[in-house]
């Protein structure tokens, strides 16, 4: 059975899954000297002991789902296994590219930062397990009524300019408490939103749907219609100048840095704790003419007659449905708003071993999603995840082993490698090598510190 909305969700996921091994969002905060590399998680990291810090480039990519596991070659669909557990299914993907960023001080007291960033986010949520089981299967139970409740699909591509200020609340020999704020200027490239508050249908024999009754809210930006149809992201950028928004990040960081009783100097911190709320805000997008609310009430229809034809956009397909009296547009909109993935971050980092040659820490990071998926609101979101990541550093080289557990009860084991100002890693490399996976990721960062002569060491 092939459902109309599965064209938006499963075809996208299937196309992107072979590339998922390239990807993720950063696992916690991977490095010890965070500074400019952690600005996107907490603006209070703009406060540091260096006159300048410069981020050259950072990138992360994540693709995941709660409907399938994959073993072996992830590009071979025969290795896909469905998860049938009576729980609604979700699919997600996010790509994050940080461009140039810099932290600097004014009069040695006031800390500022400027950062740039481009993000692509995709979420599909609340696909009922009942419907999920029947995808790509012929109808067998003609009396069963399938129900869709609160299904949502959201995707957006945007860039941002972040202007940050941070300062001290407490600053003494052993303890510092800093706070920061980031104002985000957002420039949307394109967006698509689909919400189905409620719909029902029957899966009749002979490739037929029956008793179709429901409502769908659909929003496109111009050219994003073509982008979703052909999966060419460049089309979304053709109308990016009219999609503007604002956002806000807030954060605080506490650091305990005792003086070494033998040397009389600071040998790096023993403990750090940070809390922040990021991505408060939204982007107001210009809507295409197909944006609005649609209703459907159909006794029986052959699925082949409602499939999107090759070479046509989803907007053209919707117009064809209306012409054929399959659906009716009850309202239209010239603008629509898509929320940012508002998130709470709680991070701790504790030194557990130190010697003349090696230092070791254990980092714990809790990411809590503050955006509940809803068919009534268009918004992106991250998946709530808890990560514990021990790491060891030998001067400028090191290794980390992050273990993560997310809201869908999925556990992953990863690897991070450090070399001077560069680190690269994946939170799922262990799963890729030794077992089934439901998500995959990779990330890297390259940033430099211009140290102060009076800096007696953060590590």
pLDDT in the model for residue 317: 78
Please name which of 324, 394, 325, 320 lies closest in space to residue 359, comparing C-alpha atoms: 394
Q: H or E segment at 52?
A: strand 52-65
Exposed, middle or buried: residue 441 (CB in 10 Å: 0-12, 13-18, 19+)? Answer: buried
pLDDT in the model for residue 11: 34
Strand, coil or helix: 112: strand
pLDDT in the model for residue 433: 75
pLDDT in the model for residue 73: 59
This prediction has a pTM of 0.86
What residues does 252 pair with on adjacent strands? 179, 275
The per-residue pLDDT string of the chain (459 residues; one tens digit each, 9 = 90 and over) reads 433 333 333 333 333 333 332 333 544 455 556 667 788 899 999 988 777 788 888 889 999 998 888 776 555 566 777 887 778 899 999 999 988 888 888 877 789 999 999 999 999 999 988 888 777 665 565 677 888 999 999 999 999 999 999 999 999 889 999 999 999 999 998 899 999 999 998 876 677 778 889 999 999 888 776 666 665 655 555 555 578 999 999 999 999 988 776 666 767 789 999 999 999 999 999 998 889 999 988 887 776 666 666 667 777 778 888 887 888 889 999 999 999 999 999 999 999 998 888 989 999 999 999 999 999 999 999 999 999 999 999 888 999 999 999 999 888 999 999 988 888 998 888 877 776 788 888 888 887 766 655 544 443
Instruction: Report the alpha-carbon angle 284-121-379, nearest 5.
Output: 45
Do residues 185 and 274 make contact, with C-beta atoms less than 8 angstroms apart?
A: no
Question: What beta strand segments (E) does 309-421 contain?
Answer: 327-332, 335-339, 343-354, 359-369, 385-394, 397-400, 403-406, 411-413, 415-419
Strand, coil or helix: 163: strand
pLDDT in the model for residue 432: 75
DSSP letters for 180-217 = EEEEEEEEEEEEEEEEEEEEEEEEETTTEEEEEEEEEE
Tokens of 106: 């004014």
Strand, coil or helix: 378: coil
pLDDT in the model for residue 132: 85
Do residues 283 and 244 make contact, with C-beta atoms less than 8 angstroms apart?
A: yes
How many residues in the chain?
459
pLDDT in the model for residue 88: 87
**Domains of the chain by start residue, with CATH:** 6-450 (2.40.160)
Q: State the Cα–Cα distance between residues 331 and 445, nearest whole angstrom.
A: 46
Tokens of 279: 């991505």
pLDDT in the model for residue 235: 59
pLDDT in the model for residue 42: 94
Report how far apart the first and last C-alpha atoms of the chain are (Å, whole number).
58
Q: In this structure, what are the phi and psi dihedrals at residue 273, rounded to the nearest 5 degrees?
A: -135, 140
Alpha-helical regions (H) of 91-166:
129-134
Tokens of 241: 């100048």
Q: H or E segment at 45?
A: none
Please name which of 38, 95, 184 lies closest in space to residue 382, comparing C-alpha atoms: 95
Tokens of 167: 């300062």
Q: In this structure, what are the phi and psi dihedrals at residue 434, rounded to the nearest 5 degrees?
A: -120, -5
pLDDT in the model for residue 301: 77
Tokens of 392: 């060891």
pLDDT in the model for residue 212: 87
pLDDT in the model for residue 140: 60
Chain centroid to CA 45: how far? Answer: 21
């Amino acid at each position: 059975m092939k459902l109309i909305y599965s064209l938006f969700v499963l075809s996208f996921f299937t196309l992107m899954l072979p590339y998922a091994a390239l990807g993720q969002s950063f696992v916690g905060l991977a490095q010890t000297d965070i500074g400019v590399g952690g600005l996107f998680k907490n603006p209070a990291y703009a406060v540091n002991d260096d006159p300048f810090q410069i981020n050259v480039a950072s990138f992360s990519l994540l693709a995941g789902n709660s409907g399938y596991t994959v073993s072996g070659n992830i590009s071979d669909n025969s290795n896909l296994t469905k998860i049938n557990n009576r729980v609604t299914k979700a699919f997600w993907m996010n790509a994050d590219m940080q461009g140039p960023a810099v932290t600097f001080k004014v009069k040695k007291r006031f800390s500022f930062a400027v950062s740039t960033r481009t993000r692509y986010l995709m979420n599909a949520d609340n696909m009922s397990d009942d419907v999920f089981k029947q995808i790509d299967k012929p109808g067998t139970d003609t009396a069963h009524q399938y129900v869709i409740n609160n299904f949502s699909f959201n995707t957006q591509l945007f860039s941002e300019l972040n202007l940050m200020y941070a300062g001290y609340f407490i600053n003494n020999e052993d303890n510092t408490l800093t706070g920061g704020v980031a104002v985000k200027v957002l420039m949307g490239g394109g967006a698509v939103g689909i919400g189905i508050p409620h719909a029902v249908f029957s899966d009749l024999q002979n490739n037929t749907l029956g008793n179709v009754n429901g409502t769908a809210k659909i929003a496109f930006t111009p050219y994003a219609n073509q982008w979703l149809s052909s999966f060419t992201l460049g089309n979304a950028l053709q109308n990016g100048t009219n999609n503007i928004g604002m956002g806000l990040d807030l954060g605080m960081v506490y650091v305990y840095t005792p003086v070494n009783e033998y040397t009389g100097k600071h040998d790096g911190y023993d403990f750090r704790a940070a809390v922040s709320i990021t991505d408060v805000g939204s982007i107001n997008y210009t809507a295409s003419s197909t944006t609005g609310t649609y209703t459907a009430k159909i006794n029986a229809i052959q699925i082949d007659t409602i499939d999107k034809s090759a070479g046509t956009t989803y907007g053209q397909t919707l117009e064809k449905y209306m012409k054929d009296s399959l659906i009716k547009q009850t309202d239209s909109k010239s603008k629509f708003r898509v929320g940012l993935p508002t998130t709470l971050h709680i991070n701790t980092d504790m030194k557990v071993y130190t010697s003349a040659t090696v230092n070791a820490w254990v980092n714990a990071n809790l990411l809590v999603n503050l955006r509940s998926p809803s068919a009534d609101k268009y918004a992106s979101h991250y998946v709530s995840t808890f990560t514990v990541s021990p790491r060891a550093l030998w001067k400028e080289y090191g290794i980390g082993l992050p273990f993560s557990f997310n809201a869908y009860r999925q556990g992953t084991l990863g690897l991070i490698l450090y070399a001077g100002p560069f680190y690269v890693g994946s939170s799922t490399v262990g799963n890729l090598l030794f077992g089934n996976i439901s998500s995959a990721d990779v990330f890297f960062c390259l940033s430099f510190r211009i140290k102060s002569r009076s800096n007696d060491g953060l590590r």
